[in-house]
Amino acid sequence: MQADVDLETSLLGPVLADRSCGDCTVCCTVLKVDAPDFKKPPETSCGHLGSRGCTIHAVRPRICRTWFCAWRRVAAMPSEARPDRSGLLVSLNFVREPQNCFEGVSINVRCLTGSKAIENGMAARVLDSLCDQLVPVWFSDGSKKMLMHPDNEVAQHVTSGSPAPPHLQDEVRAWRENYGLFAPRDQPQQS
């Protein structure tokens, strides 16, 4: 979780009035929190998390009041994709020292431990709903991640600066205008 609410609003949209967290507390366990007044490690339940949710809800830290996962913001995501039901936590990711131009600010679709989202098709539906704008989308299982959008061929042309074939020229140009030219060593890797 990070506090860049304005960027989240501009890239993901405002928080939707018709979606609520309900019984979901996925972000309270899965995410690392590194706010000035509140920190917690990733993949560890917050010390304030009880069996019925946040035990300090009325006075919870600012980051918890202002941060929302993508499911709370992106209307195109399936309504059934609430993280505790889908096994997918989607959020905007910020990398301070990105290895390539698609890593600095991106959407991360995180497949949670034990999730059946790949097998039951929910992962594909969620990715379809997110991969339609000039924001990079990664899919991860918490340790490894894979760039899903743009696709490999477009990403290679954007990062290498090599001439794109005619059918990809508009798309490559659009990504370059947004993300700039990067040297070949910046090509995205799976890790």
Measured CA to CA, the distance from residue 149 to residue 114 in angstroms comes to 24
Task: Tell the smallest beta-carbon distance from residue 109 to ligand SF4 (Å).
Answer: 13
Task: Tell the smallest beta-carbon distance from residue 68 to ligand SF4 (Å).
Answer: 5
Cα 122 from chain centre? 16
Stretch that binds ligand SF4, among 42-50, 73-81, 153-161, 166-174 (CB under 6 A): 42-50
Q: How many residues does the chain have?
A: 191
* 112 counts as binding ligand SF4 under rule CB under 6 A: no
Residue 55 makes CB contacts below 8 A (sequence gap 6+) with: 48, 49
Q: Which is nearer to ligand SF4, 21 or 107 (CB)?
A: 21
Cα 23 from chain centre? 21
* 110 counts as binding ligand SF4 under rule CB under 6 A: no
Q: Which 145-184 residues touch ligand SF4, going by CB under 6 A? A: none
Q: Is the dihedral of CA 189, 121, 115, 136 positive or negative?
A: positive
Task: Tell the smallest beta-carbon distance from residue 127 to ligand SF4 (Å).
Answer: 18
Q: Which two tokens stand for residue 134?
A: 């000039």
Stretch that binds ligand SF4, among 8-16, 45-53, 113-121, 138-146 (CB under 6 A): 45-53
Half-sphere exposure of 7 (CA within 13 A, CB side): 13
**Are the beta carbons of 190 and 155 closer than 8 angstroms?**
no
Measured CA to CA, the distance from residue 180 to residue 130 in angstroms comes to 22
* 108 counts as binding ligand SF4 under rule CB under 6 A: no
Among positions 3, 5, 49, 131, the unique one binding ligand SF4 when judged by CB under 6 A: 49
> Closest Cα to residue 154, out of 135, 176, 132?
176
Binding pattern to ligand SF4, positions 63-102, x when CB under 6 A? Answer: -x---xx-xx---------xx-----x-------------
Q: Which is nearer to ligand SF4, 109 or 158 (CB)?
A: 109
Where on the chain is the footprint of ligand SF4 (CB under 6 A)?
21, 24-28, 46, 48-49, 54, 56, 60-61, 64, 68-69, 71-72, 82-83, 89
